C-alpha cells in the first residue's frame, strides 16, 4: 500500500508548481430573489472556466476576481435556479435576480467522498429530496416522510406501531443473507441503522424469538426537522464510492447549517392525534350457540342483552393521547463563522392503549473559516428516543392482542369488571384479557445517541487555472438502546405459567467511527477540465447486545433481580474496513460531456482473507444536448457501469460450538451453523442507462433510468442435508438479477406570480430473478415464514420474492407438493406529489400507489381456526375452510395493492400586517393543518397490506399475523419566524 500512497503524493507534487494567471480584474454585483427583490445571502458565485469562487454577503453583494477578457459569471444557491451572465471585458459589475427552483434542477450530486457535480451534468441517477419536502406533514421518522417522493425506492412499514420500524429497499432485493438495508451517511458520518430486538418474543413465546418483536430500525433517531437534503445513491456506479457496504444503495443526509446574514429564529408548534383507520369484525353469537361451543359458563354474558357484540379492537386501539411537536431553531453567522442550533421535542401517541413514541434532539452545527485557506465544519447531534411498542405480532400465549381477538368470541366485554373492580377471569377458552395486558404489561425502549462529525477543508492551491485541496473528514456515531419489559404475575396469560411473571432487560451498544483523507485536484483547460481525487478511508463498526431475562418474579416487582429463573446473553460483532480510492473526472466540450472513472480497493475484517484487497471499479459518462427540444432545453443521455459489494455478516467465517448447560456443567456440542473460512463479499455489477431532460423553459424536467444489476458471489446458506448434523452452511456463489425502470417527472403546469402548481410523479418498477444457485437445490431462506402456511422459496428462474405452499389442483383437491402461490414484491409503485400555492395559501398532497404484491393473511387464518370469522358460514368462509382443512394457503393469499393519501397539508402564510398586529416581534407567521395516511384504498381484507410480521428482512415476507393496526394522523401547526 505504500506504493499507492507514493503515487498519490507524486501526483500531487507534479501538479503543485502551477502557472498563475498574471492579469486579473474584479467584478462586483448584487444577487436578489426574483419577485420579492430581497437580497440573497450565501449564494455561490463563480467565473466559468476558472477556479475563482466566492459567496454573497448578507446584503446579497459579492466581489470576485476574474480573468481579463469576456467571462461568464454564474450564481447558484440552494433552492434557486442558477443565474448566468456574460460580462464583457469592459464591464465591472453585474446583478442577478434568481428564481425559485421548484423542480430542483440546481442541486448537486455526490460523486466521491469529497466531490460533487451539478445535477445537470450527473452521469448517474441520484434521488434528491429537500428538507422542506420532508416536513410539510409531520412524520414519525424521515422514512415515512420520503414515501411517494423518490423513484427506485420501496419503503414499507412493518406495522402501525408508533416510532418507526420501516424497511427501505433500493432497486430491489440484492441479497439473501447479507445486509439488506442501505448505508446511511449523515454529514460524512456512517450512521447505524441497527435493528435491535426488544426481547418481547421471549415473553409472548413468539415462534421466531426476536424477529417478531416489531423492533425499531435506528434511523428512527434522525430528526426530520434537522434535514437539509437527502440524496439517495441508487445504482452501483454512484454508490461504489462506499465499496462493499453500498450494494443496497447509500442514503446521504445533509443537515441544516447556518448561513451568513441575519439571525433566523423559527419556532414551530404542532398538535395532533393518531386514530385507528380500520378494525376487524368477528362472528355474532346468540346464547344458544355460545353455550353450545363455550359451555354454560358463558351464559352470563347474555344476561342483560340477548345479542351482545363487542369489537375488541375498539376496546384496545383507541384515538391516541394528544400528540405534539415543538421545534425551535436558531441560525445565522458571519462570513467566517456560521452556526445552526436546532431543538425538537416530539410526542406521538399510539393507538394501542399506553403506547407512544417520544423524541428529543439537540443539534449544533458550526462552520468556521480559519485563515484564508482552511474551513472547518462541525456537526453534532444528541438524540433521545423513547418508545412504548405494545403487544402485537405473532405470539403463542395470547399476549399479543390481534391473536387474542381472533380467539375471543364477540359477546365478551374485555372491560367488564366484577364487584371488587377486578377484570372478569376469562371464561371464553383462552386465558388472556388484552385490556388487562395493556393496563399492566410494559414494553419500553429508550435510546440515547450522539453523532458528531468534523470536516476540514484545506485549499492548498488556488489559481485561475487549477486548485488543489485536501479534505479530512470523519466522525463518530454511538448509541445505547435499552429495553425494559415487564409482564407482571397477575396477567391472565402469566397465571398458567409454571414460573409466572417475566422481566427483560435488553441493551444494545453501538459504536461506529470512520475517517477519510482526500486530495482533490482540479485543472481547467480552455477546452476541457480534469478533476482528480484520491484518498483513504477507515471504518470501524461495533455492536454489542446483551439481554437478561427472568421469570418467576416476586409479585409486584419488575427488576430482573427479583426473579428466580434468570438467563443472560451477550453478542458482540465487530467490523473494520480500510479502503484506498482514486477517481478521475473529465469534462469536455464546454462541460457538455462528462466522463468519470474510479477504483476503490478495500480489505475488511469480516472477509475470510482479511489481507485481500477487493477492487470495486466504476465508469460513467453523460452528454448534454442543448436546445434540442426548444430554447433552454437540455437532453442528457447517460450510461454507467459500477461494481459494489456486500460484506459477509460478522461470524459467517466461524463454526461455533454450542454450549448447552446441564447439571451446572457447560458442555460443547457441534451442530447448528457451519462456518466458511473463505467467505467473500457479494458483488453487485450494474449497468445503468438514462435519458434526462429539461424542457418547456425549465417548467418540465424528467429523469428516466433503466438498470440491470447482477449480484454474484452471493452469500448463500446451504441447508445441508439435516442428516449431516448441521443446520446451515454459508458459502459464496450464485447470481441474482434485478432489472427495472424508474422515472421521475416534474412539471409546473401553472407558474404565475400569484398561483403555482407543481406536480411531481415517480414511477418504480423492478423484477428480480434468481439465475443461479451454484448447484443448490431450491430452498427456504431464513425467516421464510411458517412451515406449511406459505413461505418464500428461492428457486432458479423464479423471483426472489415468490411464495410457495399447497394450492388447489386442477381436480379441486389440495396439491401434494408446494407450488408457487404468490409474490411479495410489487409490480410497480407510483408516487404523486402535488403542490398548489395561491398567494399566501399552499396546499400539498402526496399519493402513494402500489400495484400487485401478495400478502399472507394469517390473521384471518387465526379467526378461521377459532371459528370466529365475521363471515362464518358464508360461501367465502367455506372456500377458506376448504383450504384450511386441506393445508392449502391460496385462500389466505391476498392482493396487497393499495392507494394511500399519504400526506395533505394546507397552510397559510399570514399577511405581514396581521403578523405585526400579533405583536410578538415575529417576521412571519404560518398556520397549517396536515394529515398523514388519511385515505386508503385497498383490496386487502385485513387491516393493512403494509405489514411484515417478521420485521425487516432481506426477502420481505408480507406476513400478517396480528400486527399493530395502522393509524391516520391529524396535526395543526403554528410556526413563527423571527
Q: Using CB under 8 A, which residues numbered 879 to 908 contact other proteins?
A: 884-887
Give the residue with the Cβ less far from other proteins, 169 or 604: 604
Residue selected from 699, 780, 882, 916 as contacting other proteins according to rule CB under 8 A: 780
Pick one of 19, 36, 659, 754: the residue that binds other proteins (CB under 8 A).
659
Is residue 279 within 8 Å of residue 319, measured between CB atoms?
Answer: no
Q: Compare residues 401 and 968 and give the one whose CB is closer to other proteins.
A: 401
According to CB under 8 A, which one of 10, 288, 572, 876 is a site residue for other proteins?
572
CA distance 777 to 13: 56
Q: Can residue 774 be called a binding residue for other proteins (CB under 8 A)? A: no
Q: How far is the CB of 648 from other proteins (least distance, A)?
A: 12
Per CB under 8 A, does 779 bind other proteins?
yes
Closest CB to other proteins among residues 721, 875: 721
- 833: cell is 406529489
Q: What burial class does residue 752 get, using C-beta atoms within 10 Å of its C-beta: 0-12 exposed, 13-18 middle, 19+ buried?
A: exposed
The helix or strand, by DSSP H or E, that contains position 726, with its residue range, turns out to be strand 726-751
* Complex with other proteins: residue 814 or 906, whichever CB lies closer: 814
Candidates 190-198, 248-256, 783-791, 953-961 — which segment interacts with other proteins by CB under 8 A? 783-791
Query: For the purposes of burial, counting CB atoms within 10 Å of the CB of 74, is it exposed (0-12), middle (13-18) or buried (19 or more)?
Result: middle
CB of 852 to other proteins, least distance (A): 26
Q: Residue 674 CB, nearest distance to other proteins (Å)?
A: 5
Which residues are CB-neighbours of 448 under 8 A, at least 6 positions away? 382, 383, 384, 479, 480
User: Strand 183-186 vs strand 126-130: parallel, antiparallel, or unpaired?
Assistant: unpaired
Question: Per-residue b/e over 338-364, b at no fewer than 16 CB within 10 Å?
Answer: bbbbbbbebbbbbbbbbbbbbbbbbbe
Q: Packing angle between helix 858-866 and helix 875-886, nearest 10 degrees?
A: 90
Show contacts with other proteins in window 669-688 (CB under 8 A).
669-672, 674-675
- How far is Cα 975 from Cα 163, in angstroms, rounded to an integer? 23
SS3 723: helix
As measured in angstroms, the least distance from the Cβ of 815 to other proteins is: 11
Write phi, then psi, for 972 (nearest 5 degrees): -115, 130
Question: Contact region for other proteins (CB under 8 A) — 316-324, 360-368, 441-449, 773-781?
Answer: 773-781
Give the shortest CB-442-to-other proteins separation in angstroms. 22
Tell me the closest approach of the beta carbon of residue 886 to other proteins, in angstroms: 7
Region near other proteins per CB under 8 A, out of 56-64, 87-95, 222-230, 717-725: 717-725
Q: Which of 476, 573, 461, 627 lies closest to 13 in space, CA to CA?
A: 461
Counting contacts by CB under 8 A, is residue 723 touching other proteins?
yes
Q: d(Cα 180, Cα 195) in Å, to the nearest integer?
A: 12
Q: What is the C-alpha to C-alpha distance for residues 284 and 307, in angstroms, rounded to an integer?
A: 8
Residue with cell 434557486: 80
Residue 866 sits in the site that holds other proteins (CB under 8 A): yes
Among the listed residues 376, 430, 696, 704, the single contact to other proteins using CB under 8 A:
430
601: closest CA among 586, 618, 584, 585? 618
For 181, counting Cβ atoms within 10 Å of its Cβ (0-12 exposed, 13-18 middle, 19+ buried), the class is buried
574 binds other proteins (CB under 8 A): yes
Instruction: State the pairing for strand pair 854-857/959-960.
Output: parallel
**Residues in 88-147 at the binding interface with other proteins, rule: CB under 8 A:** none
What count of other Cβ atoms lies within 10 Å of the Cβ of residue 5? 12
**Cell, residue 304:** 342483560
Per rule CB under 8 A, is residue 570 in the interface with other proteins? yes
If one asks whether residue 665 binds other proteins (CB under 8 A), the answer comes out as: yes
Quick check: 651 binds other proteins (CB under 8 A)? yes
- Output the furthest CA–CA distance in the chain (Å, rounded): 104
Q: Which range, of 34-42, 52-60, 628-636, 662-670, touches other proteins by CB under 8 A?
A: 662-670
Q: Applying CB under 8 A, what is the total number of residues that bind other proteins?
A: 96
470 forms part of the interface with other proteins (CB under 8 A): yes
SS (H, E, C) 734-800: EEEEEEEEEEEEEEEEEECCCEEEEEEEEEEEEEEEEEECCCCCCECCCCCECCCCCEECECCCCCC
As a dihedral over the C-alpha atoms of residue 858, residue 861, residue 865, residue 868, rounded to 10 degrees, the angle is: 110
Residues 6+ apart with CB under 8 A from 185: 191, 242, 250, 251, 252, 253
Binding window for other proteins (CB under 8 A); candidates: 314-322, 718-726, 836-844, 922-930: 718-726
For the chain, what is the radius of gyration of the CA atoms?
Answer: 30
Say whether residue 17 binds other proteins (CB under 8 A): no
- The interface with other proteins within residues 432-451 (CB under 8 A) comprises none
559 contacts other proteins (rule: CB under 8 A): no
Closer CB to other proteins, 432 or 594, in the complex = 432
Considering beta carbons, is residue 557 or 834 the nearer one to other proteins? 557
Binding to other proteins (CB under 8 A): which residues in 685-704? none
In this structure, the number of other CB atoms found within 10 A of the CB of residue 933 comes to 24
CB of 538 to other proteins, least distance (A): 4
**Site for other proteins (CB under 8 A): which residue of 35, 561, 658, 678?**
658
Query: Which of 817, 913, 917, 919 is the binder for other proteins (CB under 8 A)?
Result: 817
Of the two residues 779 and 808, which places its CB atom closer to other proteins in the complex?
779
Does residue 578 bind other proteins (CB under 8 A)? yes
The interface mask with other proteins, positions 729-768, x = CB under 8 A, is: x---------------------------------------
429, 617, 706, 852: residue in contact with other proteins (rule CB under 8 A): 429
Q: Is 962 in the site for other proteins (CB under 8 A)?
A: no
Task: Check binding of 720 to other proteins (CB under 8 A).
Answer: yes
364 binds other proteins (CB under 8 A): no
Binding mask 291-330 for other proteins (x = CB under 8 A): --x-x-----------------------------------
Is 460 a binder of other proteins (CB under 8 A)? yes
Q: What is the DSSP letter of 3?
A: H
**809 near other proteins (CB under 8 A):** no
With binding defined as CB under 8 A, does residue 974 bind other proteins? no
Residues in contact with other proteins, shown as a per-residue x/- string from 381 to 420 under the rule CB under 8 A: ---------------xxx--------x-------------
Q: Of the two residues 23 and 816, which places its CB atom closer to other proteins in the complex?
A: 816
- In the complex, the smallest distance separating the C-beta of residue 6 from other proteins, rounded to whole angstroms, is 10
Q: Which residues pair with 117 in a beta bridge?
A: 109
Site string for other proteins, 818-837 (x = CB under 8 A): x-------------------
Nearer to other proteins, 1 or 53 (CB): 1
Site for other proteins in 524-553 (CB under 8 A): 536, 538, 540
Q: For 480, left (φ over 0), alpha (ψ -120 to 50), or beta?
A: beta
Torsion of CA 85, 87, 93, 94, to 10 degrees: -10
Task: Please answer whether residues 473 and 412 qualify as being in contact, where contact means their C-beta atoms are separated by less than 8 angstroms.
Answer: no
Asked if 370 is part of the footprint of other proteins (rule: CB under 8 A), the reply reads no
Q: How far is the CB of 665 from other proteins (least distance, A)?
A: 5
DSSP state of 10: H
- Give the CA angle between residues 353, 358, 359 to the nearest 5°: 165
Name residues contacting other proteins, limited to 591-650 (CB under 8 A).
603-606, 610-611, 650
Amino acid at each position: 500500500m505504500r506504493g499507492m500512497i507514493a503515487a498519490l503524493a507524486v501526483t500531487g507534487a507534479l501538479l503543485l508548481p502551477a502557472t498563475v494567471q498574471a492579469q486579473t480584474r474584479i467584478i462586483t454585483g448584487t444577487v436578489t430573489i426574483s419577485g420579492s427583490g430581497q437580497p440573497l445571502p450565501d449564494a455561490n458565485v463563480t467565473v466559468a472556466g476558472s477556479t475563482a469562487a466566492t459567496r454573497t454577503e448578507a446584503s446579497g453583494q459579492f466581489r470576485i476576481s476574474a480573468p481579463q477578457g469576456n467571462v461568464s459569471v454564474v450564481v447558484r444557491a440552494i433552492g434557486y435556479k442558477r443565474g448566468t451572465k456574460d460580462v464583457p471585458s469592459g464591464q465591472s459589475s453585474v446583478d442577478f435576480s434568481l428564481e425559485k427552483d421548484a423542480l430542483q434542477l440546481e442541486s448537486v450530486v455526490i460523486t466521491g467522498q469529497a466531490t460533487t457535480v451539478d445535477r445537470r451534468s450527473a452521469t448517474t441517477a441520484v434521488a434528491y429530496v429537500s428538507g422542506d419536502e420532508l416536513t410539510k406533514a409531520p412524520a414519525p421518522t424521515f422514512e415515512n416522510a420520503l414515501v411517494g417522493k423518490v423513484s427506485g425506492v420501496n419503503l414499507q412499514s412493518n406495522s402501525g406501531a408508533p416510532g418507526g420500524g420501516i424497511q427501505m429497499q433500493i432497486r430491489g432485493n440484492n441479497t439473501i443473507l447479507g445486509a439488506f438495508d442501505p448505508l446511511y451517511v449523515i454529514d460524512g458520518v456512517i450512521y447505524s441503522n441497527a435493528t435491535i430486538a426488544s426481547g418481547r418474543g421471549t415473553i409472548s413465546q413468539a415462534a421466531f424469538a426476536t424477529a417478531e418483536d416489531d423492533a425499531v430500525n435506528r434511523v428512527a433517531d434522525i430528526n426530520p426537522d434537522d434535514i437539509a437534503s437527502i440524496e439517495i445513491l441508487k445504482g452501483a456506479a454512484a454508490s461504489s464510492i462506499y465499496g462493499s457496504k453500498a450494494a443496497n444503495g447509500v442514503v446521504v443526509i445533509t443537515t441544516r447549517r447556518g448561513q451568513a446574514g441575519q439571525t433566523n429564529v423559527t419556532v414551530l408548534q404542532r398538535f395532533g392525534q393518531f386514530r385507528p383507520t380500520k378494525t376487524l369484525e368477528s362472528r355474532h353469537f346468540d346464547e344458544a350457540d355460545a353455550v353450545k361451543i363455550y359451555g354454560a359458563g358463558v351464559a352470563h354474558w347474555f344476561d342483560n342483552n340477548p345479542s351482545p357484540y363487542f369489537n375488541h379492537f375498539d376496546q384496545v386501539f383507541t384515538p391516541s393521547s394528544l400528540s405534539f411537536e415543538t421545534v425551535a431553531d436558531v441560525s445565522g453567522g458571519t462570513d467566517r463563522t456560521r452556526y445552526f442550533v436546532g431543538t425538537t421535542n416530539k410526542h406521538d401517541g399510539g393507538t394501542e392503549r399506553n403506547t407512544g413514541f417520544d423524541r428529543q434532539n439537540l443539534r449544533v452545527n458550526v462552520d468556521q473559516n480559519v485563515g484564508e485557506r482552511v474551513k472547518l465544519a462541525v456537526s453534532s447531534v444528541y438524540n433521545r428516543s423513547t418508545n412504548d411498542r405494545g403487544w402485537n405480532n405473532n405470539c403463542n400465549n395470547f399476549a399479543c392482542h390481534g391473536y387474542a381477538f381472533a380467539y375471543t368470541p364477540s359477546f365478551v366485554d374485555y372491560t367488564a369488571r366484577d364487584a371488587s373492580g377486578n377484570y372478569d377471569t376469562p371464561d371464553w377458552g383462552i386465558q388472556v384479557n388484552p385490556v388487562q395486558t395493556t393496563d399492566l404489561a410494559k414494553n419500553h425502549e429508550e435510546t440515547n445517541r450522539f453523532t458528531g462529525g468534523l470536516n476540514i477543508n484545506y485549499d492548498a492551491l488556488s489559481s485561475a487555472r487549477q486548485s488543489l485541496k485536501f479534505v479530512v473528514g470523519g466522525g463518530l456515531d454511538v448509541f445505547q438502546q435499552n429495553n425494559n419489559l415487564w409482564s407482571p404475575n397477575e396477567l391472565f396469560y402469566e397465571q398458567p405459567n409454571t414460573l409466572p411473571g417475566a422481566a427483560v432487560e435488553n441493551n444494545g451498544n453501538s459504536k461506529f467511527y470512520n475517517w477519510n483523507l482526500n486530495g482533490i485536484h482540479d485543472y481547467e483547460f480552455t477546452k476541457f477540465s480534469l478533476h482528480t481525487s484520491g484518498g483513504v478511508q477507515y471504518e470501524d463498526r461495533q455492536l454489542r447486545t446483551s439481554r437478561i431475562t427472568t421469570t418467576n418474579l416476586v409479585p409486584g416487582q419488575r427488576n430482573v433481580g427479583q426473579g428466580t429463573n434468570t438467563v443472560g446473553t451477550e453478542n458482540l460483532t465487530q467490523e473494520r474496513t480500510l479502503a484506498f480510492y482514486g477517481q478521475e473526472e473529465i469534462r469536455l466540450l464546454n462541460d457538455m460531456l462528462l466522463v468519470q472513472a474510479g477504483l476503490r480497493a478495500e480489505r475488511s475484517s469480516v472477509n475470510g482473507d482479511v489481507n485481500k484487497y477487493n477492487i470495486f471499479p466504476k465508469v460513467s459518462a453523460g452528454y448534454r444536448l442543448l436546445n434540442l427540444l426548444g430554447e433552454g432545453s437540455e437532453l442528457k443521455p447517460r450510461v454507467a457501469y459500477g461494481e459494489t459489494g456486500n460484506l459477509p455478516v460478522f461470524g459467517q467465517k466461524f463454526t461455533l460450538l454450542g454450549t448447552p448447560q446441564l447439571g451446572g456443567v457447560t458442555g460443547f456440542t457441534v451442530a447448528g451453523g457451519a462456518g466458511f473460512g473463505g467467505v467473500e463479499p457479494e458483488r453487485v455489477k450494474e449497468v445503468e442507462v438514462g435519458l434526462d431532460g429539461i424542457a418547456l423553459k425549465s417548467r418540465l424536467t424528467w429523469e428516466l433510468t433503466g438498470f440491470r444489476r447482477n449480484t454474484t458471489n452471493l452469500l448463500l446458506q446451504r441447508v445441508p442435508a439435516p442428516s449431516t448434523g448441521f443446520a446451515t452452511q454459508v458459502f459464496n456463489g450464485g447470481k441474482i438479477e434485478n432489472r427495472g425502470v424508474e422515472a421521475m417527472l416534474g412539471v409546473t403546469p401553472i407558474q404565475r406570480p400569484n398561483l403555482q402548481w407543481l406536480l411531481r410523479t415517480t414511477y418504480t418498477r423492478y423484477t428480480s430473478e434468481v439465475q443461479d444457485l451454484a448447484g443448490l437445490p431450491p430452498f427456504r431462506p431464513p425467516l421464510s415464514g411458517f412451515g406449511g402456511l406459505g413461505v418464500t422459496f428461492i428457486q432458479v428462474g423464479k423471483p426472489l420474492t415468490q411464495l410457495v405452499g399447497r394450492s388447489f389442483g386442477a381436480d379441486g383437491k389440495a396439491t401434494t407438493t408446494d407450488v408457487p402461490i404468490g409474490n411479495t414484491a410489487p409490480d410497480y409503485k407510483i408516487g404523486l406529489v402535488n403542490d398548489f400555492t395561491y398567494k399566501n395559501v399552499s396546499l400539498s398532497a402526496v399519493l402513494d400507489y402500489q400495484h400487485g404484491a401478495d400478502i399472507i393473511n394469517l390473521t384471518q387464518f387465526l379467526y378461521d381456526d377459532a371459528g370466529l370469522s365475521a363471515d362464518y358460514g358464508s360461501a367465502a368462509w367455506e372456500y377458506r375452510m376448504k383450504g384450511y382443512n386441506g393445508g392449502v394457503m391460496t385462500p389466505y393469499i391476498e392482493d396487497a395493492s393499495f392507494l394511500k393519501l399519504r400526506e395533505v397539508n394546507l397552510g397559510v402564510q399570514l399577511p405581514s400586517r396581521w403578523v405585526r398586529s400579533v405583536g410578538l416581534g415575529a417576521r412571519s407567521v404560518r398556520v397549517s393543518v396536515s394529515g398523514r395516511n388519511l385515505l386508503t384504498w385497498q383490496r386487502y381484507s385485513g387491516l393493512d397490506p403494509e405489514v411484515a410480521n417478521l420485521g425487516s428482512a432481506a426477502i420481505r415476507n408480507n406476513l400478517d399475523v396480528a400486527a399493530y393496526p395502522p393509524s391516520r394522523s391529524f396535526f395543526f401547526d403554528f410556526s413563527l419566524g423571527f
